[in-house]
Structure 1
Amino acid sequence: MNLRKIVHGTWMAFCVFLLVSPALFFFIWMLSLSLKYEIDNGAYPPILIPERIAWKNYAGVFESNNFLLYFKNSIIVTGGATLLALMVGVPAGYGIARMRATKSAMVIMIARMTPGLSFLIPLFLLFQWLGLLGTLVPQILIHLVVTVPIVIWIMISYFETTPLELEEAAMIDGATRWQVFRNVALPIAKPGIVVAFILSVIFSWNNFVFGIVLASRETRTLPVAVYNMLSFEQVSWGPLAAAALIVTLPVLILTIVAQRQIIAGLTAGAVKGG
């Protein structure tokens, strides 16, 4: 029995390694590029671990680009879009789950699957008419196209698995539907809210298309700033990889810190549903 468990655990570990190895390899290679001088980045055969560490690549990112401004813009856009998405999506997910509005859920799924570019042109014209282009407001609002469907869909799935007995007992005691939602449903749904929060932050933080179309020089976000480091004359792989890692680092840290909550939120439905 113990041998079977060992074999099963080894096989599962091997399968997980095969699944994550491509992403792990690309991350390690990007880290290697960011720590090498350009002569080492162009060497053949490739050099993974350089003899000299090019810390200047990271310093150059902050010296040659206004990265602190772009970092602040990304925080404002991502934070605003995520906060608004939670304020709209959590109550909407609860209402759809309790009313068993399957058609509304399908509409949300279609909105989630629809490419964001489909909304970009009409919203661009609208923001241009309102005189908001070049500010952070249109970026926050258009990110809701991505974040709101994510939050609603996750919360629908989560609220459908939460027990109704506690809510029914609260309503028998005289609580209103809003009080039931605020005092009973929300505390139970905290793991699901954490998952919705993390995914909204990831999708909003990494969004590139909306920022490059709607932003001005002073309202760019970090993904757009990394793209602007490319030039027609030469691609400096070291600074470019360093900038990409700087952009990835906040989301990576957030995911590592909240990994237990993410796992709990993703598995809670299956456990309760059983």
Structure 2
Amino acid sequence: MRRLLGRIAFGFSILVLIAPAAMVFLWMLSLSLKTELDNTAYPPIFIPSPPVLSNFVAVFERNDFLGQAWNSIVVSFSATGLAVLFGVPAGYGIARMQATRAAVVILIARITPGLSYLIPLFLLFQWIGLTGSVVPIIIIHLVITVPIVVWVMMGFFEGLPAELEEAALVDGATIWQAFYHVAMPLCRPGVTVAVILSFIFSWNNFIFAMVLAGRNSRTLPVAVNNMLTFEQISWGPLAAAALLVTLPVLLLTLLAQKQIIEGLTTGGVKGG
């Protein structure tokens, strides 16, 4: 009986935690499938009758949605790939050298608001003539993705017995060979978690693309902002754009939730 009550209490607590997010998503879906008349009706109409797709059509009519989707893919994949390329070896070095101060610097870089980097980097990119392309957006997204990769990988590498790499060094391997052939295969769950988290944060970032992007280099979060007009807020197209932007990340999270949970419980949330 006690076990049953514990399961009920646990299930209820989980429901309380996810209910706000679920309701927001369902309300956004409802707004995207209703006309503007129904969206402004009082009392509110939750279930559209009948559902309409004109809001999704409006998103593609008002934006170069496919072009912005391509820009988001290029920026997110590039920023994530570069973050893994530099962040994984950095996390390994910090973990093995027990560089606590470096770990604190990485943490500070992660929690510092992005606006602190935006203004000086914008002036720098403007001075060297890079504004208006996806290159400055990729570079500035490294401010987000690299600390995530380093911090996640530090926990995994700290959990590995150093004796494994020492044995490889005794056998004649170099430090890079020990890292690549011994440490990396054992930390693949950590790399998976780091890649997924970096991609999600890069994909969802709005302010960097809003300031640095030109007409042909805008990313998908900017498409949501473009649905706002001076005359009125069109809730249907706005919700449809937000839904289209959120959908890839939502699907990625659902498909990779097992890897994320396994990676985090294996040691990915440990810190130096």
Bin for the TM-score computed over the shorter chain:
over 0.9
Q: Report SS of the residue matched to 1:264.
A: helix
Instruction: State the Cα deviation string for residues 125-169 of structure 1 (Å, max 9, x = none).
Output: 111111100011000000001111111111111111122232222
Task: Name the counterpart of 2:133.
Answer: 135
Among 215, 240, 245, which residue is 1:217 paired with?
215
Equivalences for residues 18-167 of structure 1 within 5 A: 18-167=16-165
Aligned residues: CA RMSD = 1.6
**Separation in 1, partners of 2:200, 2:152:** 15
Following superposition, the deviation at residue 271 of structure 1 comes to 11
Instruction: State the Cα deviation string for residues 169-203 of structure 1 (Å, max 9, x = none).
Output: 22222211101110111111111111111111111
Q: Structure 1: give runs of 5+ residues left out of the alignment.
A: none
Using the size of structure 1 for normalisation, the TM-score is 0.96
**Separation in 1, partners of 2:102, 2:268:** 23
Task: Name the counterpart of 1:207.
Answer: 205
How many residues align structurally? 271
Task: Name the counterpart of 1:266.
Answer: 264
Instruction: State the Cα deviation string for residues 248-274 of structure 1 (Å, max 9, x = none).
Output: 0111111111111100110002899xx
Task: Name the counterpart of 1:15.
Answer: 13
Instruction: State the Cα deviation string for residues 88-131 of structure 1 (Å, max 9, x = none).
Output: 10000000000000111011111111111111111111111111
Among 237, 243, 246, which residue is 1:245 paired with?
243
Q: Report SS of the residue matched to 1:44.
A: coil
Letter in 1 for 2:190: G
**Separation in 2, partners of 1:163, 1:6:** 40
Q: What percent of counterpart residues are identical?
A: 63
**Separation in 1, partners of 2:22, 2:200:** 18
2:106–2:150 contact (8 Å) kept in structure 1: yes
Letter in 1 for 2:11: A
Q: Structure 2: give runs of 5+ residues left out of the alignment.
A: none
